A and B are shown apart, each in its own frame.
Chain A
Amino acid sequence: MFNALRQASKSATLVRVARRPATAASPLRTFQSVRTVVTKRYTQDHEAVVFDDSTGVGTVAITDYAQSSLGDVVFVELPTVGSVVNQGDQIGAVESVKAASDIYAPVSGTVKEINEELNSQPGLLNKSPEGDGWLCKIELSDTEEITKLMTEDAYKEHCEH
């Protein structure tokens, strides 16, 4: 229960972040966004995507499980804004002292925004991987892709294996 609550509040944070551009752009969209459906899905490679159907944008992060396995993150390499990526493309990397781990695009689309904060504060990935430590936002070219990713329950099971 506690866990679920925490998860919910985390998602809420991400939803706000994801919606901000739309809200600023058009009051009409704000109204529409009341009916926004936000979906959070996971990949086998320990990425999380929060998809907002009102903007068509997915916010990509690494999971808490991933950050704890990586240890102290000291460097994050992010994709270039505007680049077009296919699902599974390597779009960046997360580095601890020990090792580099590639980040793969969980969905296809266009990179709309990257988290510049990570350049100066890579440790955000450890502190708040699915919150302030988000990696990038991708405008999906095929929104169907999101539904094919793992649900939270499926991901939890994946981590236990």
Chain B
Amino acid sequence: MSSRILAKTLTRSAHHAAKQARPTLRCMATESGALRKTGLYDFHVENGAKMVPFAGFSMPLSYGSVGAVASHHHVRKSAGLFDVGHMVQSNFLGPTATQFLEWITPSGLASLPPYSSTLSVLLNEHGGIIDDTVITKHASDAFYVVTNAGRRDRDLAWFKEKLEEWNKTDLAKKEGGVEHEILENWGLLALQGPEAAQVLQAYTSYDLTELTFGKSAYLTVEGFNLHVARGGYTGEDGFEISIPPAETIEVAKLLSKSPVQLTGLGARDSLRLEAGMCLYGQDLTEEITPIEAGLTWVIPKDRRETGNFIGAEGVRKHLKEGPPKRRVGLVVEGAPARQGATILHPETNEAIGAVTSGIPSPTLSKNIAMGYVRSGFHKKNTELLVEVRGKARNAKITGMPFVPTNYYRGSA
């Protein structure tokens, strides 16, 4: 038992990952040492939160005496409220906003209906993932984009550089350029769980049965006009609610009443992993293409072939030749495999990949993990070995999500 670990328990990495000094820990590194706070910092402290550094922010790990496992189960059975105000919220506005975003991402945004969202990726010149993001289209000249806190500096510099290039193009000069607006200090709350809809419905006259998974709308919630997107990072039904800075605390108080429980980063990580969702910095990096990451589905078919987006060449190479490695789900026997654990060939014990996220799943009571393996070993039910504390443990490739998703796709 290491005292280093006691400190690290409060962060998101396992001991072995840290020992190997993997660069993937950068998502939680702070540059200056001074941590930022969301508008709900005092609210968290008043509610007994254990605050920990995460992605440059001081964020709640858990609240009061509610353990991570109990908190996790509460979201699966009832509803939880997460402060995700550390994430970067942006608007891209202007006559050529659709074309600009179709250049910096491989998404098909021209065909996306208004007030709909899509998971997307920002790609570098080689097709490596700079960040994963959710893009919501309000109109062809107005998009709302949420990116990761841990990638704030990289993303914002990238947006600035690419916007300057874009606004010098003939198209932008002729039809109009694009402007990037950061919603600094705005609140972002995620209300997640099977009871999330009935909780929110009690505060709004908007018929939430109309708001299906992947849709968004401006709702009046107890007098507050809020942008509400149906979706989230837990696999459950739920909403991500964007709130003007002055109103964030009031809305958080409103939405955290019983049966909703405030939920911290601990449960957020176990919920997202059960849902098979990636965490940037662990499961996605700039060295990984969306094809390797199993995110080919975020690129519409026509754009895979002819799309003119940054990184298209790297993406097409992997599409054509097949990716050298692939993201897979694993169930590991014996001990939980954590970030950094080596995946071995079942007969030769040769290293063929590595775990990028792993936990004992509270819902399944099995050790689940995701990681990358060499192509050819990625098929479902392939039996492999994973090394944990010097011992090779049996593991099997499993489809994801590990826990079935429970999205609301309409009452019909």
A interface residues (Cβ-Cβ under 8 A, vs B): 43-47, 62, 66, 69-72, 74-75, 77, 90, 93-104
Contacts and interface: CB of A to CB of B under 8 A. Distances in A.
Nearest to B50: A71
B98 to A, nearest CB: 41
A77 B389 CA distance: 10
24 contacts: A44-B3, A45-B1, A46-B1, A46-B6, A62-B1, A66-B1, A70-B6, A71-B67, A71-B68, A74-B360, A74-B362, A75-B360, A77-B335, A93-B389, A97-B72, A97-B266, A97-B360, A98-B9, A98-B12, A99-B5, A99-B13, A99-B14, A102-B389, A104-B2
Contacts of A97: 68-69, 72, 266, 270, 359-360, 362
A74 B69 CA distance: 9
Size category of the binding interface on chain B? 20 to 34
Contact of B9 (A101, A103, A104): A101
Given A101-B2, A101-B15, 14 more contacts: A45-B3, A46-B1, A71-B9, A72-B68, A95-B335, A96-B68, A97-B362, A98-B68, A98-B270, A99-B9, A100-B14, A100-B336, A101-B9, A102-B2
A100 B12 CA distance: 11
A74 B72 CA distance: 14
A69 B8 CA distance: 10
B6 A101 contact: yes
B269 interface: yes
B335 A75 contact: yes
Interface in B13-27: 13-16
A66 B6 contact: yes
Contact of A69 (B6, B14, B15, B362): B6
A81 to B, nearest CB: 16
Chain B CB count within 10 A is highest, among A43, A69, A93, A100, for: A100
Contacts, number: 85
Given A71-B68, A93-B389, A101 B359 contact: no
A74 B336 CA distance: 10
B103 to A, nearest CB: 39
B361 to A, nearest CB: 8
A36 to B, nearest CB: 27
B96 interface: no
B338 interface: yes
A75 B14 CA distance: 14
A92 to B, nearest CB: 8
Contacts of B5: 99, 101-102
Chain A CB count within 10 A is highest, among B3, B8, B12, B67, for: B3
Contacts of B9: 69-71, 96, 98-99, 101
B282 interface: no
A93 B15 CA distance: 10
B67 A90 contact: no
Interface string B262-287: 00001001100000000000000000
A77 B1 CA distance: 12
Chain A CB count within 10 A is highest, among B1, B14, B266, B335, for: B1
B62 interface: yes
A95 B360 contact: yes
A46 B5 CA distance: 10
A103 B1 contact: yes
